[in-house]
Amino acid sequence: MSVKHLISKIIEKELVGTDCFLVGVDTNMAETDLKYFIDGSEGVSVQICTKLSRKISRILDEEYLDETPIRYEISSPGIDQPLIDKRQYVQHIGRDLAIIKNDNSEIEGELQSVNDTTFDLSVPLSKNKKETQTLAFDDINKCTVKVSFKKKKK
């Protein structure tokens, strides 16, 4: 089993029973520099990352003691990273998303609701008029949360 898969399995096992999940892994070709991204409905705490890091260090020390040095990092994806897993969408209900569909068309709007296969987006048509569009996850190439420092009117 490769180091990448070993660490992924450790993370997935340790996250069972929490609201967190593994979103993705970035690695170099030699799998000596690995970055693991985890997310959850309430975000990711430093304590969870620390717990995972300690567990992984113990196992790597036992199984890869004489191997090539391995550098790994565990963190949340960050607000500027694309949403990859359907479970990430739920925590962003009420926020604006920028979406590139598989046909390369772009759409922006406020995330209204999420289910297993689709999500609803409130898309502005004019200054005072919006339309709700239902989009299938399978039709999405890239989706990011639009960062805004403006306060929303209630």
What's the pLDDT score for residue 61?
A: 81
Q: What is the pLDDT of residue 121?
A: 97
Q: What is the pLDDT of residue 95?
A: 92
Distance CA 83, CA 89 (A): 7
Q: What pLDDT shows up at residue 112?
A: 97
pLDDT at 77: 87
Beta strands in the chain (DSSP E): 20-27, 33-40, 71-75, 96-101, 106-114, 118-124, 130-136, 140-145
The domain ranges of the chain are 3-75, 86-145
Query: How far is residue 114's CA from residue 74's CA, in Å, rounded to a whole number?
Result: 27
Distance (Å, whole) CA 11 – CA 21: 8
pTM of the model: 0.77
| Mean pLDDT, each 10-residue run in order, the chain (154 residues) | 88 92 91 91 88 89 72 87 91 94 96 96 92 96 86 54
Architecture of domain 86-145: Roll (2.30)
Assign domain 3-75 to a CATH class: alpha beta
